Homo-oligomer: A and B are copies of this chain.
Amino acid sequence: TIREKAMALLFLPALARMAVCGGTHGNELSGVYVVQEMERQRKEKGEGVWPIPVTTVLSNPRAVKECRRYIDTDMNRCFSRDTLSSPITDSSPYEVRRAQELNNLLGLKGSTDAIDLICDLHNTTSNMGLTLILCTSSDWVTLHICKYLQTKITKVPVRVLVLDFPISDAYSLESVSKHGFTLEVGPQPHGVVRADIYIIMKEAVDLTIDWIHKFNSGTVFEGGDVETYMLIKSVDYPRDPETRTLTAAIHPQLQDKDFCLLKRGDPLFLSFSGETVNYEEEETLHPFFINEAAYYEKGIAFQLAKKMMLTIPAVRVQKD
């Protein structure tokens, strides 16, 4: 039974090396400053500052310098197996080159040499608190770290969002590592660093290092249930059919209500001339990435998820 599976103890390999990556999107500043602060700490206190080896990476230095999301193309869509193996020419986008560099540094993706865990730091203009985004629902290590963060962080909601891609199609940076997740914290405007958001992100990174150290040291992490949200689909803004310009904004009653329960008849949009557009579907779902700045160009006003409980087994490190 599921209950017995949860009680079983799984022995898993130690996590020898992890990477903390910031600035994958150059205008998401909390991650940039967390990486900067970790590099300062290492300079001040030496390599032993953390109980495990941590590689720090500023993922998209050119975009960080210009304080833009990207130079040529969204880098966090460049880590699919196809893009990572595409030949580089003079006309290759900067981010495709840089993604291949990062794959050489932290991968190779899908190989035994790949780094054990990438924690990729992101911000959103949506009111998503701390959201941990995973590409798969079957990685016990990552789900245990999520459970640990959900237990330890109480100042903001900690939610787990599962996209469930096949790894070869997964296009985000953390898909290069064996385990790994995106750490998404908001609301924070792009191009701004807010101390409250920075502090939550730094705490989540410190707790991730903490979990890995405890795991490597032989701590048994009990199994149990983890509440997750599974991505179902994206919803675009109402747009002018000819110009494609927005004709409505997120409705004030939906704005900032990420992960609420959306029911038939609830308001979604308020047009610029004052009309309300309601949610018309029967299925109750949870909206998130509500009014994320970077998703206007992707045609996404918000995404919808289904809540799902995952049962994970107890885990312990393998003895050598």
Contact = CB atoms under 8 A, between A and B. Distances in A.
Interface of A: 33-34, 36-37, 40-41, 67, 125, 187, 189-196, 198-199, 245-246, 249-252, 255, 270, 272-273, 291, 293-294, 296-297
Given A67-B296, A249-B198, A296-B67, A272 B192 contact: no
Given A37-B272, A249-B33, A296 B195 contact: no
A273 B67 CA distance: 22
A285 B252 CA distance: 33
Copies of this protein chain in the complex: 2
A196 B250 CA distance: 9
B273 A37 contact: yes
B193 A190 contact: no
A195 B49 CA distance: 46
Given A195-B249, A296-B67, A33 B272 contact: yes
Contacts of A273: 37, 40-41
9 nearest interchain CB pairs? A189-B189, A191-B293, A37-B272, A195-B249, A125-B189, A195-B270, A192-B293, A195-B252, A193-B249
A41 to B, nearest CB: 8
A249 B291 contact: no
Contacts of A198: 249, 272
A36 B196 CA distance: 35
A34 B249 CA distance: 12
A134 to B, nearest CB: 26
Given A189-B293, A293-B190, A296-B67, A255 B195 contact: yes
